[in-house]
Homo-oligomer: A and B are copies of this chain.
Amino acid sequence: MSHNYCIGTDIGGTTIKLAVISTEGEIIKKWEIPTDISNKGSHITKDINIAINNTLSELNLQKSSILGIGAGAPGFVDTSTGYINEAINIGWKDYDFGIELSELTNLPVWVDNDANLAALGENWLGAGRAVDNLIAVTLGTGVGGGIIANGEILNGANGTAAEIGHMTVKTSGGKPCNCGRLGCLETETSATAIVRKAYEKIEDGHDSNLVQLEEITAKSVFELAADGDTASREVLAEVVDILGLSLANLSVAINPNKIVLGGGVSQAGDQLLNPLKEAFQKYALPRVAEACIFELAELGNDAGVIGGASLVKQYHQ
């Protein structure tokens, strides 16, 4: 059988992940190369082309057996053309990435935001398998999101859909966000926010084992909370309440079959998931809550390349 492989690539600030995946979802090979962000990231596209050529030779695959490349970039993408408006971490601005990669590789290329591709990856081979309506949330240093509706990625008017980390959750007293505004979901529920709130508890003079830590991490706050530390529990209760409310309000619009949680904070597992489900049910329209299952993401760092391959599978003719 010919023409039955897809290439996914996920361009991050440190590494570029790649994978060759069959249209049936078998991962033939996955690997990564360092991201060369020198000279405004101008070597990246060539490096991807070389990495692909080398691997196809090594695997003895003809280019004619590749349906195309699905690429994720960390920024604002015009998905109809693969044009990158801005991808700060890798130095790109106003760059015609899709067309350039397509010309270099002589393959069709589809490009999307990395968080959207992670959602699509979980939707194909991960925790969001085979549902038509999915919200994927990444809780890490920041809060990212991808939304699948009617079986397709939501991109919106200018590629800014599903930027759920920038829902406004505090209309007064909110902390500054990277986006330039105050009180975003990201500044209240990311790993960074958990750590900040824990330090605030110490500053406020709470009697807590947090003071004994050399450095507070989100993980340590979860651990102390599990051991009964009141201040840590209060931090997490507030985070979970805000996140549950925001996901409930999103879900009244999207009515998802499933919400998939990934990123570092999601490693807390049921300690996060159980109270989050409760908060969600408190705030969501009952019929919306009934339809929606919570799950932990399954694909970890592979979600993006799998999503890239899925994009090819979905759109190639």
Q: Given A171-B245, A283-B171, does the pair A253, B162 have CB atoms closer than 8 Å? A: yes
Query: Which chain A residues (118-170) contact chain B, with CB distance < 8 Å?
Result: 131-133, 145, 147, 149-150, 152, 154-164, 166-168
Partner pick for A164 among B147, B248, B253, CB 8 A cutoff: B253
Q: Are A249 and B167 in contact (CB under 8 A)?
A: yes
Q: Given A160-B288, A291-B157, A292-B157, does the pair A253, B254 have CB atoms closer than 8 Å? A: yes
B-chain residues with CB within 8 Å of residue A246 when the two chains form the complex: 249
How far apart are the CA atoms of A145 and B249 in the complex, in Å? 13
How far apart are the CA atoms of A302 and B161 in the complex, in Å? 30
**A180 within 8 Å of B (CB atoms):** yes
How far apart are the CA atoms of A164 and B60 in the complex, in Å? 53
How far apart are the CA atoms of A249 and B255 in the complex, in Å? 15
> CB within 8 Å of B: which residues of A?
76, 131-133, 145, 147, 149-150, 152, 154-164, 166-168, 171, 179-181, 241, 245-246, 248-250, 252-257, 283-288, 290-292
How far apart are the CA atoms of A167 and B76 in the complex, in Å? 27
Partner pick for A160 among B179, B245, B255, CB 8 A cutoff: B255
B-chain residues with CB within 8 Å of residue A158 when the two chains form the complex: 255, 287, 290-291
Interface CB pairs A-B, < 8 A, 27: A131-B157, A132-B157, A149-B154, A149-B156, A149-B161, A154-B253, A156-B255, A156-B288, A156-B291, A157-B256, A158-B255, A158-B290, A160-B252, A160-B255, A160-B285, A161-B253, A163-B253, A163-B285, A164-B253, A166-B285, A168-B245, A179-B285, A179-B286, A180-B286, A181-B285, A181-B286, A250-B253
Q: Are A255 and B154 in contact (CB under 8 A)?
A: yes
| A249 to B, closest residue via Cβ | B167
Partner pick for A157 among B152, B171, B180, B257, CB 8 A cutoff: B257
Measured between C-beta atoms, what is the minimum distance from A201 to chain B in Å?
Answer: 21
Measured between C-beta atoms, what is the minimum distance from A124 to chain B in Å?
Answer: 18
| A183 to B, closest residue via Cβ | B283
B-chain residues with CB within 8 Å of residue A76 when the two chains form the complex: 287
How far apart are the CA atoms of A49 and B61 in the complex, in Å? 60
B-chain residues with CB within 8 Å of residue A159 when the two chains form the complex: 255
Q: Are A248 and B154 in contact (CB under 8 A)?
A: no
Measured between C-beta atoms, what is the minimum distance from A181 to chain B in Å?
Answer: 7
B-chain residues with CB within 8 Å of residue A253 when the two chains form the complex: 145, 147, 154, 161-164, 167, 250, 253-254
